[in-house]
Chains A and B, each alone.
Chain A
Amino acid sequence: MNTAPLPFQLFQRAFLASLRDPHRSRAPDGVPTGRWRVYRELLYNKIEASLAACFPNSRALLGPRAWTRLVKAFIAEHRCLGPCYREIPDEFMHYLQARGPGAADPPCLFELAHHEWMELVLMIAEAEAPAEIDPAGDLLANTPVLAPVLSLSCYRFPVRAIAPDRSGWSRWKKRAVEAETVPHFMLGFRNAEDEVRFTELSAVTAQLVQRLIDQDPAQAVTGREILWRLAVDSGPPDPERFVSYGAATLLELRAQGAIVGVRRSPNPSNETLRGT
């Protein structure tokens, strides 16, 4: 339905355009500058407050001038589709992704921001643990079940370690991507106490967690089978030993809260029933 804009809508669009990007779009004629500035400041402060709350380290890494510039560019260039104020950080991540790395950005900025954002995402995600799990069941003989709110990210930078040292942030501002050779696998999840936890995983544990994420719940594959397949695919000399190491890893993940329990492996009579 394309209809010609009504006269009052021309004013609305011009006004919003000037609020977003005062350098490109002048305020409509007849709008008092002082009152226009009230709206511009409210807008900037609101967006900045949301981003500062979600991205405190990214903000500190950039420093006040670069941060202000980035926030202003976000307001000017991005169209926020999410109707909720708390979605501003999501919109900011969309913006950073679409914009690509800025020439003056510290190379680790995007990953640091992503990691900070994940904390918010995991905190408010809606998923709840399925009811029919056994928290203490055997992880090899049954299907291990991951925490319902969980994410596995692969970073080039050790995002948990990005922090100021004696020279402030300068080390992280300069540190080049090329310097990073080993990927950092970061597992984030919400535990049974509803707290968000992060833990860095080895490459092989990350593969194991990825296979658990990819499990089709209808398949009821046991922990032993998952480990065995992983061993066969990645080819260690002794799969049996690999499975016993893997069993210890599964236990550790459960102790941390990333695995919440097991879905019982169906007994033969159930199999028959399901087959009918």
Chain B
Amino acid sequence: MNTPCLDGAGLGLRREHLFPLEAAVPPAIDFFEVSPENWLAVGGRLGRAFRTLTERHRFVAHGLALSLGGPAPLDEAFLVRMKRFLDLHGMVLYTEHLSYCSDEGHLYDLFPIPFTPEAVNYVAARIRRTQEILERPIAVENSSYYLQSPDADMDEASFIAAVLDEADCGFHLDVNNVYVNSVNYGYDPEDFLRRMPGQRIVYVHVAGHDREDDDLIIDTHGQAVIDPVWALLESAYRRFGVRPTLLERDFNLPLLDELVREVEHIARLQRRWQPSAWKRSA
């Protein structure tokens, strides 16, 4: 699977960087990503600056609030709004988390779906319905988590593979989340990666996190990417081929230059594993 018009290395757009980027976008940034929930129905100066950027650059929408695994009915009215947003800004891809964030009310955080066969069917049906309403394929991301339901009777890798298969959707691979979960749950991230459905990967995330303890990482997106996560990204490229990849940074934001250096590092790894596809050298 691949997404037309999307390749290279991108940066997650934060409001803090909006005005510097409005002046000039560093050439290292091939595309941006936003959480649509942060920009839906935002007008004024922010809204205008955002619109200017989406008119000039490629954007991916990475949703937070759809609650694909949530126990309340799928919010179809929200999806209709989402479709308008995706169309208005020419978003080249929409991805969501394999998690849930609400019941009848929103909690604005992502919680792990119990890994059970019933949940596989349930979530896959909701993904299919989402693709129907949005009239486009979506990709779903492996989430980080800190606990699992004691009723879970599948492991995470089998759960992810089964959902993607049954929904027949794209896979948004977050290598930082693989690393975070491997520490929090004591498994081998390379082995986990090997079990991922590589042919479904359309998009990759890399990010930093906060180490709380020997066996607990909090997925804050608040630090620079660490070497083991870079190694995991390379490993994913080696196994599955190079895919468009984005640097996420949501907290503890440094100056743009520092983030651009990390984006450039993504591009270096992409060249290493697929030199012929490096379009900007042509």
Contacts and interface: CB of A to CB of B under 8 A. Distances in A.
Interface residues of A, number: 47
Given A8-B118, A80-B108, A32 B113 contact: no
Given A35-B146, A42-B109, A85-B108, A12 B100 contact: yes
Given A13-B71, A35-B147, A46 B113 contact: no
B86 to A, nearest CB: 15
B106 interface: yes
Contacts of B228: none
B278 interface: no
Given A5-B71, A29-B150, A81-B106, A86 B38 contact: yes
Given A9-B71, A39-B146, A20 B107 contact: yes
Contacts, number: 122
Interface string B77-119: 0100000000000000000000010111111110101101011
A7 B109 CA distance: 22
B46 interface: yes
A125 B118 CA distance: 42
A46 B146 CA distance: 17
B216 interface: yes
Contacts of A190: 44
A219 B164 CA distance: 57
A47 B194 CA distance: 37
Given A12-B70, A13-B103, A38-B218, A6 B43 contact: no
Contacts of A84: 37-38, 40, 65
A16 interface: yes
B64 interface: yes
Nearest to A11: B149
A1 B73 contact: yes
B109 A43 contact: yes
Nearest to B150: A30
Interface in B11-43: 37-38, 40-43
Nearest to B105: A79
Interface in A10-40: 11-13, 15-16, 19-20, 28-32, 34-36, 38-39
A126 B119 contact: no
A127 B48 CA distance: 11
B38 A39 contact: no
| Interface size band for B | 35 or more
Given A38-B146, A83-B37, A83-B75, A7 B116 contact: yes
A124 B103 contact: no
A271 interface: no
Contacts of B66: 83
A83 B103 CA distance: 11
Given A29-B150, A39-B147, A85-B64, 19 more contacts: A6-B122, A7-B118, A8-B151, A12-B100, A12-B149, A13-B71, A16-B107, A35-B146, A43-B107, A43-B109, A80-B105, A80-B106, A83-B78, A83-B106, A85-B37, A88-B108, A126-B44, A127-B43, A194-B45
Interface of A: 1, 5-9, 11-13, 15-16, 19-20, 28-32, 34-36, 38-39, 42-43, 46-47, 50, 78-86, 88, 123-128, 149, 190, 194
22 contacts: A5-B71, A6-B119, A8-B119, A11-B149, A11-B150, A13-B103, A16-B103, A16-B111, A31-B149, A35-B147, A39-B147, A42-B218, A43-B107, A43-B109, A50-B108, A80-B108, A81-B106, A83-B75, A86-B38, A124-B42, A124-B44, A128-B43
Interface of B: 37-38, 40-48, 64-66, 69-71, 73, 75, 78, 100, 102-109, 111, 113-114, 116, 118-119, 122, 146-147, 149-151, 216, 218
Nearest 9 interchain pairs by C-beta: A79-B105, A30-B150, A126-B43, A83-B65, A194-B45, A35-B147, A8-B114, A9-B71, A84-B37
